[in-house]
Structure 1
Amino acid sequence: MSSQTSERTSPAVSKAAGGSELISSQGKTSIADTVVQKIAGMATREVSGVYKLGGSGARALGALRERIPGSGGPSASQGVSVEVGERQVAVDLDVVVEYGVAIADVAEAVRRNVITAVSRMTGLEVTEVNVSVDDIHVPGDDAEDQEPARVQ
């Protein structure tokens, strides 16, 4: 291509990390915090070694919500908090990991997966992903949490 036919980028155009234009001369694309929260939550749950998301309070509230008929089950954004700007996003995660996994390796895998998913789906640059491990899941803990069946 010659320099005359090459793509011209005006100051009003912003290319995001994923290559898509979030702000252009034809309009602006804004992405709600809840959208980014759900993407980050789903990407975190995909990582082997992550048992659940959320601190103990959020998990208790989520357990109550799951018991309400028609509530739709656990929230995809539980344990996820984000700050979304026009071009960048920062993500904070509260996770529970499985007993026996290397926590540093799980945290790094979570970071990679969240950055990839959020960048690809939104076009936003992920500036940081902070992972807070709030608990560890020990096999057998679930048996204590479950009520016996009322009907057999």
Structure 2
Amino acid sequence: MTEKTLEKTTARDSKALVTTEGRTTIADTVVAKIAGIAAREVNGVHALGGTASRAVGALRERIPGSTTNHGQGISVEVGEKQAAVDVQLVAEYGVGIADLAAGIRRNVIGSIERMTGLEVTEVNIEVQDVHVPSEDKDEPQERRVQ
């Protein structure tokens, strides 16, 4: 391959989105969905989004025929050549948050750049809560009155 061919095939090279044959634009929702799926793939992520968005998402999933919102907890800014991503999440208890954040950044950046050709300038991560497995158990509460 020539040097020019190598330049055109790199994931970080957005020239593939603008060619002499036309321009390719990628919607924010597409980048958000890619980022959401990539973030969920990382071990230690319990859920994406804050309390309110998770509650709305849970209600939405109960509606027959509805689909999962893969972009929940993700906000993006997409330009012609670059994208920036913000991720809100709930981490599993016991997971090193710095390691979790590094894994999420690596996976989100790799997925977006590989699939879109956009350069990801930053991935900001906000850990809003820690999930404790004992919170999920539906233990019967002792009745106070009979």
TM normalised by structure 2 equals: 0.85
Distance 2:37 2:3 in 1: 39
Q: Which residue of 1 aligns with 2:141?
A: none
Distance 2:58 2:132 in 1: 18
Residues 46 and 20 (structure 1 numbering): CA distance in 2 closer, same or farther, change over 3 Å? farther
SS at match of 1:89: strand
The answer (yes or no) to whether the contact 1:16–1:22 under 8 Å persists in 2 is no
The answer (yes or no) to whether the contact 2:14–2:119 under 8 Å persists in 1 is no
Deviation string 1:61-94 (CA, Å, 9 cap, x unpaired) is 011111111112x310000000000000000000
What is the CA-CA distance between 1:140 and the residue it aligns to?
Answer: 2.2
Q: Which residue of 2 aligns with 1:61?
A: 56
Whichever structure has more helix as a proportion of its residues is 2
How many residues align structurally?
A: 135
Q: Which runs of 5+ in 1 are unaligned?
A: 145-152
Of 37, 51, 64 in structure 2, the residue corresponding to residue 42 of structure 1 is: 37
Are residue 94 (structure 1) and residue 88 (structure 2) matched?
Answer: yes
Of 125, 131, 136 in structure 1, the residue corresponding to residue 130 of structure 2 is: 136
Alpha-carbon RMSD across the aligned residues, in angstroms, is 2.3
After the TM superposition, which segments of 4 or more aligned residues of structure 1 sit over 6 Å from their partners?
A: none
Q: Which residue of 2 aligns with 1:29?
A: 24
Task: Tell me the amino acid that sits aligned with residue 104 of structure 1.
Answer: A
